Structures are given as C-alpha cells and as structure tokens.
Amino acid sequence: MHGLVVAGFVLTLLLLCVMLGKRNKLFADRFLIIFLLGSALGSAYSILEQYDWMQHSYWMLMGKGLNLLYTPLFFLYVFALTHERIPRWLYSVLFAPFVVYAIHFFYYYFFIFDNAQLEIKNGLVYVDGMLARSWLVFVVMMLVSEPVYLIWFFCLMNNYRKRILTSVSNTDRLHLNWIKVLFYIRAGIVVVLVPTSILAVGQGRISIEVMQIIIEAISLVFFFMLGYYGFNQTTVFTTQLDGAGAKSVASYQKSGLSTEMAEDYHRRLVEVMTVQKPYLNNELNGRELAELVGISTNHLSEVLNVIQKQNFFDFVNSFRVEEVKSRMQLPDNAHLTLLAIALDSGFNSKTSFNTVFKKVTGLTPSQYMKAAKIS
C-alpha cells in the first residue's frame, strides 16, 4: 500500500514537472497542471495518513474533499481541448460541490469538532455516536460524480467529432482516438471504483484498506496512461474549429440567406472546388474555403447542409475521391502506388483514404481498380 501511494506521488510530480517545463503551453494545459497539482496534494495527504502523521487530525477530512476537485479539473482539461472558450457558468457548476464541502468542513472545525466526539466507521463520519447525514451527502456526491461526468464526457466527445466534421477536411492530425483513450480510462475507473466504494463505504463488505489499495493502483495506472498518451499527443488539439457544429435545416430558417443567394453561393462553391481544387491542400478547413468562395463560414455551412446535404468533411473528401479516380486512369501515373496518388489528391494517410474511398464508392481502392480494369 505504501509503495503504491509513494509511486503514484512520484509519478504525478514527474508529470507535473514535465508539464511545467513544456514550452508554448496550450490553454488546456493549465487545467492539466492544476489537476496534476491537486492529485499530487491528494497523494501527499495519503502518504501522511498512511504513516499515521495525519490519521487523527481533523484536516484529514479536508483532504478527502479533494476528491470533489479531481474529476472537475480533468473535465475542464478535456473541455478546453475541445472548445475555444469556457463559459463562466461552467466554473461555478464544477467547483460548487468542493466550495460547499470546504464551508461545511470549516463550520464543523470551528463549531462542532471540539464539542463532540468524532468517529469514522467504514468511511462514514459519526458525531457523538450518530451518523452525520451532512457528511453522508458528500460521500454520496463523491460516488455519483464520476458516472455523471462520464456521461457528460461522452456527450462532449460526440459533439466534438460533429464539430470537427463541419470544419476540417482531415481528422488524422487531430488524433480523435486520444479523446477516446481519455474516455475509456475514466470509464474503466468508474466500472471498478464505484462498485468497490459502495461495498466498502457504510456496508463494510470490503475493508477501507482494500478499497484504498484499489484506488491507489487505479490512480497509478491512470497517471501512467495519461503520461504515455498525453505528452506524446498534446499538440494535436491546437487546431481551431469553426462554427458550433452541424445544424439541421430548420435552424437556418432565420439566417437571412435567401434561396437564390444560397444557390448562387453553391454554384460559386462548386466552381472554386472544380477550378482551383483547394481540396488538394490536406489541411483545408472551413474558414479557408469560405474565404476562397467569398462568403462567411456560417453561409458555407448552410449551403453545404441545406443544398449539398453534406457536412464539410464529406463534401471535401468526395472531391478528393473523384480526383483519385481521375488520376488512376492517367497513363503518366501508372508507376505510382495508390497511396501516392491519394496523398497527391489531398488525403493525409492510407487509413483515411481507404475509409473515405469505400464510404463514397462502396468499394475499396483495390476493388475499384479491379472493377475498372486499371492496372
């Protein structure tokens, strides 16, 4: 147990030092630094508690309240990665539970603890032999917060992907799998931690010591995975997204864009794509294409959704697929591989090329070549 706590503390400090020494920090990195700092403080509390230096101190209860900070801080990190701005109300919602817990603790510290007998059984606080219901509320809050944030996290991840598909034509460099890694790590923690905590706190079916060992082991794995993936792929979130996401046709009814204007914009859009071929730029985004057409990004999104019936990602990549099909048939390209043709046509990788090509044509590139009798 002691070894797990110390190992977790050292690993957290190491990751914190790496983040503090990182140049050109992203806005999201600030929340990761605060999260790591809070985690290091929590590990320090655990070390003091394990060595019986704080086991009988009231301040040990204040340290337990840090559990209401970890998940909100990590959630803010992910939110900052997937959004350009963080609304002020979100801070109030995320940190209100900890603030209330701190006020509650200091109330007991100054007015209750010295005048009553305090006892902790199976993770619950008893005052003068009676279960303190207010402390029980916070215990329940700590147990349910992870699942609630996990659901919120899942919705955030889906919304992020939708916004990406309306703004960028290549998702490879955004490393969307990194967000999935974060989600699955937290999901794994919830699956193990919540049932264990329910069996340990109050019921005593699992000892508090065993629960703490499980928590420390999970934390150690989590920080190792966070370090391994996070510091390899931190910069992938620097791409700024345009717009708020895919919109339904009904949401454009009050945009002020008439049918005639929309059709004219659509004509200009297709002309730009056909003549200038901006899709050959593998990092083309919505803002750049809108500037080429001479319209706003909102009008571009409306034209694509209402007239073209496609999002930005599918629209641009449909031109890339046609470019590949056209280049396949040129005798001058007979010596080139399929991947070379795909990269010249605006795709970023073999994976994205194969996925998009099959989605558009219903065939893999190789199957298409055989069907078209292209050698």
Tens digits of per-residue pLDDT, 304-343? 888 988 888 889 999 999 999 999 888 888 888 888 898 8
| 3-class SS string, 178-189 | HHHHHHHHHHHH
**Least confident segment among 19-23, 107-111, 143-147:** 19-23
Domain of 348, CATH number, reads 1.10.10.60
Tokens of 349: 């990788």
Stretch 115-129: mean pLDDT, rounded? 83
Domain check: are 296 and 261 in the same one? yes
pTM, whole model, 2 decimals? 0.61
DSSP letter, residue 239: P
Nearest to 123 by CA among 41, 65, 204: 204
Q: How far is it, in rounded angstroms, from Cα 294 to Cα 271?
A: 12
Q: Convert the pLDDT of each residue in 41-66 to its tens digit.
A: 888 887 777 776 655 678 888 888 88
Q: Is the pLDDT of residue 197 over 90?
A: no
**Least confident segment among 18-32, 56-70, 84-98:** 18-32
CA distance from start to end of the chain: 64
Structural domain contains residue 250:
no
Domain check: are 228 and 273 in the same one? no
**Number of domains comprising the chain:** 2
Q: How far is it, in rounded angstroms, from Cα 229 to Cα 102?
A: 33
Q: Convert the pLDDT of each residue in 258-274 to its tens digit.
A: 888 889 999 999 999 99
Q: How far is it, in rounded angstroms, from Cα 355 to Cα 351?
A: 6
- Residue 92: CA atoms inside 13 Å, Cβ hemisphere, count? 3
Domain span holding position 190: 2-237
Domain check: are 205 and 262 in the same one? no
Q: Which residue has the higher pLDDT, 7 or 206?
A: 7
Structural domain contains residue 172:
yes
Domain check: are 317 and 358 in the same one? yes
pLDDT at 206: 74
Domain check: are 69 and 211 in the same one? yes
Structural domain contains residue 283:
yes
